[in-house]
């Protein structure tokens, strides 16, 4: 009966109640999405690379190196000579090394030049190795292995051929169109930037840049594919490389050796440490976003209270009636609190539905555009904590109208 009274009374004031619920739904939606996306981005980033002990690149910021080598965000500032790579890769502590060469693209997707050890040693998530959905790793100079999203978005099958563009812009005018690549493998989805990458051999990259100088094509069709496949294509430089060490204990030692490498200025980073540096940079932004959304919620809460408070004025006779029927003032207090709780719970439900719907709609876009896998599991321990805090906050905020109606209830005779 108590619940019915609260519900019916809210239904009776549909207009203002619906507006309050809308305001609150939007504010809870913002809070939940900020929290969820924050959590998921971290998860997604942390899952991108695993089992790599060191990432080596040219001297730059550690976050910068991490971003362009692993997440394909931003550009490398300089290259590393092949000799340095070979020397470090063959040192006694190193178990395996994956060279990475970036800079070209295909229809907006980045092209990664590497070798076979990439498919053997690169892992993501919880030490999961790369798997092939179709085909196999590249073998010939002009073979290409596609990430799952590249294959899906561009509709490539095994055996299709494609040409690469110089630079990373989709509309690049300088194309390596005289030298097409053949799709030999398509990787299974990983939920990491690997899905949006085209993998070619370092020799392949070397071949298409053979008749280029300073990033400009200097002649047309001077070289044919067969010429190139016969030539010994030794890469001169790469962008970065990843190292797996024989013993984790040696990590810092190897890192120091690389950082003090005499022949060339190099930087070695631990992915985990660089990632936490990145989070530190982001935490200010995160906190600001969370604070802003919390304030939006408080504003919505006050809006609900203003609505409840003004409703009390219209309910003078109702209060008198309930009191005469024997309702104690605390009943009126609880009635208003219950109305606030009903509004909040409705808003939480609607906000969750809204968030789930918008996640479902934007998932493909986020993956394609940012390589972010935002899962639909919006109820983490933390977000449930936030929901409880939301409920408590609105109960506390509703004390204002509730105490007011309580006072009215006491003074009903006077």
Partner 1 sequence: MAIEVSRLRFSYPEQPEHSVLTIPSWSLAKGSQTFVYGPSGGGKSTLLNLLSGLLTPTEGEISLFGQRLDTMSSRQRDQFRANKIGYVFQQFNLIPYLNAVDNIRLACQFSQRKKQANINDDITDLLTSLSIPERDWHCAIRQLSIGQQQRVAIARALINKPKFLIADEPTSSLDPVNRDAFMALLMSLVAENNITLLFVSHDMSLANYFNHVEALTDINRIEEHV
- Shortest distance, position 4 Cβ to partner 1, whole Å: 7
- Shortest distance, position 350 Cβ to partner 1, whole Å: 23
- Shortest distance, position 413 Cβ to partner 1, whole Å: 3
- Shortest distance, position 7 Cβ to partner 1, whole Å: 10
Q: Which of 3, 11, 216, 262 binds partner 1 (CB under 8 A)?
A: 11
Looking at the Cβ atoms of 275 and 336, the one nearer to partner 1 is 336
Q: Which of 1, 3, 216, 218 binds partner 1 (CB under 8 A)?
A: 1
Draw the binding track, 128-147, toward partner 1 (x: CB under 8 A; -: no contact).
--------------------
Tokens for 348? 């939480």
Looking at the Cβ atoms of 310 and 358, the one nearer to partner 1 is 310
Decide: is 12 part of the binding site for partner 1 (CB under 8 A).
yes
Looking at the Cβ atoms of 81 and 320, the one nearer to partner 1 is 320
Decide: is 8 part of the binding site for partner 1 (CB under 8 A).
yes
Looking at the Cβ atoms of 20 and 62, the one nearer to partner 1 is 20
Decide: is 153 part of the binding site for partner 1 (CB under 8 A).
no
- Shortest distance, position 314 Cβ to partner 1, whole Å: 10
Decide: is 403 part of the binding site for partner 1 (CB under 8 A).
no
State which of positions 252-291 bind partner 1 (CB under 8 A).
Answer: none
- Shortest distance, position 293 Cβ to partner 1, whole Å: 34
From the list 3-11, 98-106, 265-273, 354-362, the region that binds partner 1 by CB under 8 A is: 3-11
State which of positions 302-331 bind partner 1 (CB under 8 A).
Answer: 317-318, 321-329, 331
Q: Following DSSP, what letter does each residue of 348-399 receive, concatenated?
A: HHHHHHHHHHHHHHHHHHHHHHH-----S----HHHHHHHHHHHHHHHHHTH
Which burial class, exposed, middle or buried, applies to 89 when counting CB atoms under 10 A from its CB (0-12, 13-18, 19+)?
Answer: middle
Decide: is 2 part of the binding site for partner 1 (CB under 8 A).
yes
Total residues contacting partner 1 (rule CB under 8 A)? 24
- Shortest distance, position 326 Cβ to partner 1, whole Å: 2
Looking at the Cβ atoms of 94 and 334, the one nearer to partner 1 is 334
Looking at the Cβ atoms of 15 and 414, the one nearer to partner 1 is 414
- Shortest distance, position 407 Cβ to partner 1, whole Å: 13
Does the CA dihedral 122-128-129-132 come out positive or negative? negative
Q: Are 265 and 63 in contact (CB under 8 A)?
A: no
- Shortest distance, position 18 Cβ to partner 1, whole Å: 15
State which of positions 360-399 bind partner 1 (CB under 8 A).
Answer: none
Decide: is 15 part of the binding site for partner 1 (CB under 8 A).
no
Decide: is 3 part of the binding site for partner 1 (CB under 8 A).
no
Helix (H/G/I), strand (E/B), else coil: 48: helix
Decide: is 345 part of the binding site for partner 1 (CB under 8 A).
no
Per residue, the 3-state secondary structure of the chain, as one string, reads CHHHHHHHHHHHCHHHHHHHHHHHHHHHHHHHHHHHHHHHHHHHHHHHCECCCEEEEECCCHHHHHHHHHCCCCCCCCCEEHHHHHHHHCCCCEEEEEEEEEEEEECCEEEEEECCHHHHHCEECCCEECCEEEECCCCCCCEEEECHHHHHHHCCCCCCEECCEECCCCCCCCECCCCCEEEEEEECCCCCHHHHEEEEEHHHHHHHCCCEECCEECCCCCCCHHHHHHCCCCCCEECEEEEEECCHHHHHHHHHHHHCCCCCCEEEECHHHHHHHHHHHHHHHHHHHHHHHHHHHHHHHHHHHHHHHHHHHHCHHHHHHHHHCCCCHHHHHHHHHHHHHHHHHHHHHHHHHHHHHHHHHHHHHHHHHHCCCCCCCCCCHHHHHHHHHHHHHHHHHCHHHHHHHHHHHHCCCC
Decide: is 9 part of the binding site for partner 1 (CB under 8 A).
yes
- Shortest distance, position 303 Cβ to partner 1, whole Å: 22
Tell me which residues touch partner 1 (CB under 8 A): 1-2, 4-5, 8-9, 11-12, 317-318, 321-329, 331, 410, 412-414
């Amino acid at each position: 009966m108590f619940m019915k009274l609260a519900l019916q009374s809210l239904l009776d004031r549909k207009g203002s109640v619906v507006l309050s619920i809308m305001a609150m739904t939007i504010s809870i939606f913002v809070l939940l999405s900020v929290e969820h996306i924050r959590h998921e981005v971290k998860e997604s980033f942390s899952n991108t690379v695993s089992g790599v002990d060191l990432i080596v690149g040219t001297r730059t910021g550690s976050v910068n190196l991490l971003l362009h080598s692993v997440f394909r965000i931003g550009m490398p500032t300089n290259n590393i000579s092949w000799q340095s790579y070979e020397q470090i890769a063959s040192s006694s502590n190193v178990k395996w090394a994956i060279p990475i060469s970036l800079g070209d693209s295909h229809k907006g997707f980045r092209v990664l030049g590497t070798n076979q050890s990439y498919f053997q040693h690169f892992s993501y998530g919880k030490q999961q190795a790369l798997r092939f959905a179709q085909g196999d790793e590249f073998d010939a100079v002009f073979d290409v292995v596609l990430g799952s999203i590249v294959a899906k978005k561009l509709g490539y099958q095994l055996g299709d051929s494609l040409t690469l563009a110089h630079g990373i812009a989709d509309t690049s005018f300088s194309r390596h169109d005289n030298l097409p690549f053949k799709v030999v493998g398509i990787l299974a989805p990983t939920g990491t930037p690997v899905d949006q990458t085209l993998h070619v051999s370092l020799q392949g990259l070397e071949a298409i840049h053979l008749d280029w100088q300073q990033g400009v094509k200097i002649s047309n069709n001077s070289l044919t594919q067969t010429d190139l496949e016969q030539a010994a294509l030794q890469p001169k430089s790469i962008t970065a490389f990843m190292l797996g060490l024989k013993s984790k204990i040696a990590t810092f030692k190897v890192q120091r050796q690389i950082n003090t490498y005499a022949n060339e200025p190099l930087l070695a980073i631990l992915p985990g440490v660089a990632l936490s540096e990145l989070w530190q940079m982001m935490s200010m932004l995160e906190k600001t976003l969370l604070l802003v959304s919390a304030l939006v919620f408080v504003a919505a809460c006050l809006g609900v209270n203003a609505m409840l408070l003004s409703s009390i004025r219209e309910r003078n006779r109702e209060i008198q009636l309930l009191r005469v029927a024997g309702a104690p003032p605390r009943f009126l207090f609880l009635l208003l609190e219950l109305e606030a709780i009903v509004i909040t719970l409705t808003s939480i439900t609607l906000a969750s539905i809204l968030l789930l719907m918008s996640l479902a709609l934007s998932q493909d876009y986020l993956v394609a555009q940012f390589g972010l896998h935002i899962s639909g599991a919006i109820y983490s321990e933390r977000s449930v904590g936030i929901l409880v805090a939301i409920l408590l906050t609105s109960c506390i905020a509703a004390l204002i109208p509730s105490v007011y109606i309580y006072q009215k209830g006491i003074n009903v005779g006077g």
